[in-house]
Amino acid sequence: MEPVVSSWFSIPWFAWIPIVAIICGTVQCMAKNAMRHRERIAMIRMGMHPDLGAEKPYIHEQEV
């Protein structure tokens, strides 16, 4: 157990910045994908088609 702990302390302080950034970015991406999946499943359960998205309303242009 001691070699693993000593290897963590042998990493310089400035190397921790990209390590933490990569870990946080990965966790953020996983959370975003999980949320998108939950929303998609909720749309399917409500009977909506998740791939169509929201249709934009068609507005008739009026001549002035």
| Predicted pLDDT of residue 13 | 87
Q: Letter for the amino acid at 49? A: H
pLDDT band at 11 (very low <50, low <70, confident <90, very high): confident
Domain boundaries, the chain: 15-48
Q: How far apart are CA 58 and CA 24, in angstroms?
A: 42
| pLDDT score of 58 more than 70 | no
| Predicted pLDDT of residue 33 | 97
* H and E: helices and strands count for the chain: 2, 0
| pLDDT score of 23 more than 80 | yes
Question: pTM (2 decimals)?
Answer: 0.62
CB atoms within 10 A of CB 53: 9
